[in-house]
């Protein structure tokens, strides 16, 4: 995390603004620049577990926490906020609504983001709540300064999106939050994977691990097919973990929900690992998580254990799967997706 992102490079041009401040940092940060600032003290909130882990390892003095939203202790004595605008506009609105509901009036608020992420919509979003001005543009980023003259209302319950998942004679209630995969409806890849597993329910037994669980749809389905399984659901995203926990509870399912960067916090071996692994980081293609999943799965499977994943047909996973597993089959496919079963 030593290489600074364009957003942090723009902030670096304004370091004097943060000197001696009681700083809170939130949003989509991807480097440790804020830990280098000469502040009175710095608190950092992360909603991505891998970022939290990396920052925590580099810092002994600052207060760093991981979760859906900052806790009350994050706001204590804060006079300045740096908010890194994420790639999802609705996620930005969700997080800012919470932050500006809890920060003290008069707090200096700096919003930084790459122009391609829609950061310029911050001007319209906040114009009714105080004075906002753009103070820098560089490296295809925009930096805004905002003074909140009134607080934004925030109620978590108002941000949930819900839909019913119908599969054969099974109906599941699914609740999701902004930035969580399959926010408004089930994605086509997960739908194909669910239908493939529905044809091979004998696979769902023993210890089952859902990696990159999102809102928990695969976990819900597996537990409903076989309530006797020992289910573990993992993700790096705090909103995803929060949504999964709610969905499991609402559908009367017991499972362990764990923050983990692929296998970083996973213990033991499994009879089945299921996943719809991500291959995007925002608009950029990123195979890291999926490649780690494929390469390391065999170290976390029992004898005769299986890995079942869905992926876009064009992704270069067949060769990697064949390098790691003796048997690889395509058990379902469309023109866009394939479901691989490896053992």
How far apart CA 274 and CA 208 sit, in angstroms, is 8
Task: Give the pLDDT score at 184.
Answer: 86
Surface-to-core class of residue 235, CB atoms within 10 Å of its CB (0-12 exposed, 13-18 middle, 19+ buried):
buried
Surface-to-core class of residue 4, CB atoms within 10 Å of its CB (0-12 exposed, 13-18 middle, 19+ buried):
middle
Task: Give the pLDDT score at 120.
Answer: 95
10 within 8 A of 141, measured Cβ to Cβ: yes
How far apart CA 80 and CA 21 sit, in angstroms, is 7
Question: What's the pLDDT band for 311 if we cut at 50, 70, 90?
Answer: very high
* pLDDT for residue 59 is more than 80: no
Cα-to-chain-centroid distance, residue 143: 24
What is the residue whose two structure tokens read 């108002």? 158
Average pLDDT over residues 318-339: 95
Q: How far apart are the first and last CA of the chain?
A: 35
Average pLDDT over residues 61-67: 86
Question: What's the pLDDT band for 220 if we cut at 50, 70, 90?
Answer: very high
Q: Report pLDDT digits (tens) over 99-131.
A: 999 999 889 999 999 999 999 999 999 988 888
How far apart CA 166 and CA 164 sit, in angstroms, is 6
Average pLDDT over residues 59-63: 72
Q: What is the 3-state secondary structure (H, E, C) of 55-87?
A: HHHHCCCCEEEECCCCCHHHHCCCCEEEEECCC
What is the residue whose two structure tokens read 């973990």? 241
Q: Report pLDDT digits (tens) over 243-292.
A: 999 999 999 999 999 999 999 999 999 999 999 997 644 444 456 888 99
Q: Which segment of 64-78, 126-140, 147-161, 282-296 scores lowest on mean pLDDT?
A: 282-296
| Nearest of 84, 105, 78, 101 to residue 18 by alpha carbon | 78
Task: Find the length of the chain.
Answer: 343
């Amino acid at each position: 995390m030593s290489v600074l992102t364009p957003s942090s490079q723009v902030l670096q041009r304004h370091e004097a603004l943060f000197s001696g401040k009681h700083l809170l940092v939130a949003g989509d940060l991807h480097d440790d620049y804020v830990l280098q600032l000469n502040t009175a003290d710095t608190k950092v909130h992360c909603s991505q577990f891998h970022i939290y882990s990396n920052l925590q390892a580099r810092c002994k003095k600052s207060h760093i926490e991981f979760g859906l939203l900052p806790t009350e202790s994050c706001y204590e004595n804060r006079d300045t906020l740096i908010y890194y605008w994420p790639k999802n506009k609705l996620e930005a609105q969700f997080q800012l609504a919470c932050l500006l509901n809890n920060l003290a009036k008069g707090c200096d608020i700096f919003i930084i983001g790459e122009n391609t992420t829609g950061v310029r919509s911050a001007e319209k979003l906040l114009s009714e709540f105080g004075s906002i001005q753009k103070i820098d543009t560089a490296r295809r980023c925009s930096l805004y300064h905002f003074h909140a003259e009134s607080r934004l209302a925030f109620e978590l319950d108002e941000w949930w999106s819900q839909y019913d998942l119908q599969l054969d004679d099974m109906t599941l209630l699914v609740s999701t939050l902004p930035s969580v995969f399959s926010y408004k409806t089930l994605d086509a890849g997960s739908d194909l994977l669910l239908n493939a597993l529905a044809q091979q329910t004998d696979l769902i037994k023993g210890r089952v691990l859902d990696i990159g669980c999102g809102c928990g749809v695969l976990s819900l389905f597996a537990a409903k097919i076989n309530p006797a399984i020992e289910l573990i659901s993992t993700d790096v995203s705090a909103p995803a973990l929060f949504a999964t926990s709610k969905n499991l509870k609402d559908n009367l399912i017991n499972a362990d929900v764990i923050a983990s960067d692929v296998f970083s916090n996973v213990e033991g071996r499994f009879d089945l690992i299921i996943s719809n692994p991500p291959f995007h980081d925002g608009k950029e293609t990123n195979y890291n998580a999926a490649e780690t999943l494929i390469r390391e799965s065999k170290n976390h499977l029992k004898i005769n254990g299986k890995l079942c994943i869905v992926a876009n047909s064009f992704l270069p996973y067949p060769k990697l799967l064949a390098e790691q597993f003796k048997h690889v089959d395509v058990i379902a496919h469309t023109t866009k997706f394939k479901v691989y079963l490896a053992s």
